[in-house]
A = this chain, B = another copy of it.
Amino acid sequence: MSTTAWMPIPAYLALESRFQRLYRFEHLASIVGWDQAANMPPNGNEARAAAMAELDTLMHAQRTDPALKALLDRAENEPLTPDQRANLREMRRDWRGANALPAALVERRTLATARCEHAWRQQRPANDWASFVENFRPVVQIAREEAMHLADATGLMPYDALMDRFEPGMTSADVERVFGDLKTWLPDLIRTVQARQQAEPPVLQPVGPFPLSQQKALSLAMMQRLGFDFDGGRLDESTHPFSGGVPEDVRLTTRYAVDNLMSSLMGTVHETGHACYEQNLPREWLGQPLARARSYGLHESQSLSFEMQLGAHPGFVAQLVPLMVEHFGAQPAFTVENLTRLATRVEPGLIRVEADEVTYPAHVILRFEIERALIEGAIDVADIPALWDEKMAAYLGRDTRGDYRNGPMQDVHWPSGSFGYFPCYTLGAMYAAQWFATMRRQMPDLDERIAAGDLNPMFDWLKDHIWRQGARWETPELTRRASGEALNPAHFRAHLEGRYLG
C-alpha cells in the first residue's frame, strides 16, 4: 500500500466547487461594473443597476446558503495540504463577511448610507455640516452595531473587526504602534522639507495643451514598460480612475485633462501597480479565495511601489523624459531634475486625495483617530469638527475652522459607512517602503539597474514575494516572509528622509 494513499476530502472539494461558481459570477459583476464606469451611456443606468442588484442578490444567497457552515466545519477535519488549508481559512473569512450581519441590519445600512451619500453630494459643496449630521448620525449608529456583530463573529475589538474586512490580521493596536511612531517625527519632517523646498528655485510646470490621443499613447507606452500584459487587459477612460476587471482580463482606467499631463500620467502608473498585482496572482489557484489579492493595504502597497517608490525615482524619471519628449516635443519642464522635483513637492493641503507622500500620512492618522473614537463611542458626531481642526493644526499646521467642505465632509468613506478603510492608505505606503528596503538589502545594485532601465529585478521580487502569494498568508505573516520582520515604520522614515532631506 502506497504511503501517499489518497485521502478523501469531500467537504473541501464541495467548497472549492461552490467558490469556483461564485468566482464566475464575480467575473460578470466585475466586467459589467467596469462597463458601467467606462462605456455605459446615461440612459442605460437604470436597467444596469437592476441587473447588478439581481446578481448581488444571487451571490449573497450563495454565500449565506446554510449548507456552507457544515461544509466549512467538516473540511477543517479533512487531511488538507497547507495551501488547501489556507484556502479554507479564506473561504471561512468570505463566509463570515457574508453571514455575520443580520439581514435587517444590512438593509438598514443600505438605506442609511444611500441616503447619507446621496445628500452629501449636495451638502458638501454647500458646506452644510448641520444637515449632513442628520443623515450621518444614523450611519455611525449602524456602523457601531455592525462593528459589534463583526466583533462577535471574529473575536476582535469592534473597530478592529471593521478594519479586518480591509486588512486581515491587522489590529488597531498594531496601527497605533506604527502611527504613533510616525507622529513623533512626521510634523517636524514636513516643516523641515517645506522650508528647504521654499528656499529652492521654483519648479517648472509642464506647459500644455497635451492632446488626449498623445497622452493615451504615452500611457500605453509606459504601461508596457511597467510590465502590464496587454494580452490579459486593457486601458480605457473613466471619471474616477480604477483598476477593475478580473485577474485574467484586467481593466485599467485613467482620466486625461488636456492641460494637466502629470496627473493622468502618475494616475496611470498608480493603477498599473494595482493591475500588475492582479495579473500576477497565483494562476493555478484562480477561482479560489487563496488566489485573491491579500488586502487593501497590500494592494495600495503595490500601486504606491509603482507610483511613489518607482515613479518619483530619478532613475525612472530619466526613462520617462525621452518618452515625454517623443510624445509632446521638448520643453524646459521636461528634464530629469525638474520632473523629479515636481514629483516630490511637499505642500500641506486640506485635501487628502491631492496630498503628496510626505503629508498624506497626516491626513490618514487624523481620520483613523477620529473614526476609531467614533466607533468606540468615545466621541459623538458633533465632536468631529473641533477634533478635525485641532489635529489639522497639530499635524499639518493648517487652520480649517468652519470649512467642513474641505474638512470632515471631503471623503466619500464616512457618508458611505466605510469605517476602518483609511489606515490602508498609509499602511500601503509603509509596506511599499519596506519592500524597497528589503530589495535594496538583497540587491545592492537595484537603483543602478532601475537607472539603466532594467525594472525586472523589482518586478521579479514583487512577483515572488507579493503577487504570486495571493491570500496564502495573513498580512503579518506575508510581511515577515517577504521582508524578514513585522511592519516597521523605520523604513518609511528612512525612505522619506533619504528622498527629502538626503
Name the interface size band of chain A.
20 to 34
Q: Are B32 and A28 in contact (CB under 8 A)?
A: yes
CA distance A424 to B232 in the complex (A): 38
Q: Mark A14-35, 1 if CB is under 8 A from B, else 0.
A: 0000000100110110011001
Question: How many copies altogether?
Answer: 2
Which of B21, B43, B58, B234 is close to A41, meaning CB atoms less than 8 Å apart? B234
In the assembled complex, A327 has its CB within 8 A of some CB on chain B: no
Q: Are A54 and B42 in contact (CB under 8 A)?
A: no
Note all chain B residues with C-beta closer than 8 A to A39. 234
Q: Are A248 and B44 in contact (CB under 8 A)?
A: yes
Q: Could you tell me which residues of chain A, from 103 to 126, have a CB within 8 Å of some CB in chain B?
A: none
In the assembled complex, A249 has its CB within 8 A of some CB on chain B: yes
CA distance A163 to B233 in the complex (A): 40
Q: Are A232 and B27 in contact (CB under 8 A)?
A: no
Q: Could you tell me which residues of chain A, from 205 to 255, have a CB within 8 Å of some CB in chain B?
A: 229-234, 245-246, 248-249
Of all chain B residues, the one with the shortest Cβ separation from A55 is B28
Note all chain B residues with C-beta closer than 8 A to A246. 44, 47
Q: Could you tell me which residues of chain A, from 245 to 275, have a CB within 8 Å of some CB in chain B?
A: 245-246, 248-249
CA distance A43 to B286 in the complex (A): 14
In the assembled complex, A50 has its CB within 8 A of some CB on chain B: yes
* Of A25, A47, A246, most B-chain CB atoms within 10 Å: A47
Of all chain B residues, the one with the shortest Cβ separation from A43 is B232
In the assembled complex, A48 has its CB within 8 A of some CB on chain B: yes
A54 with B248: in contact, given A41-B231, A232-B44, A233-B41 (CB under 8 Å)? no
Q: Are B35 and A48 in contact (CB under 8 A)?
A: no
In the assembled complex, A379 has its CB within 8 A of some CB on chain B: no
The 3 closest A-B pairs by CB, nearest first: A44-B249, A27-B51, A24-B54
Binding site for B on A (CB under 8 A): 21, 24-25, 27-28, 31-32, 35, 39-44, 46-48, 50-51, 53-55, 58, 229-234, 245-246, 248-249, 286
Task: With A25-B51, A31-B35, A41-B230 given, name 4 new contacts (CB 8 A).
Answer: A27-B47, A28-B55, A31-B32, A47-B286
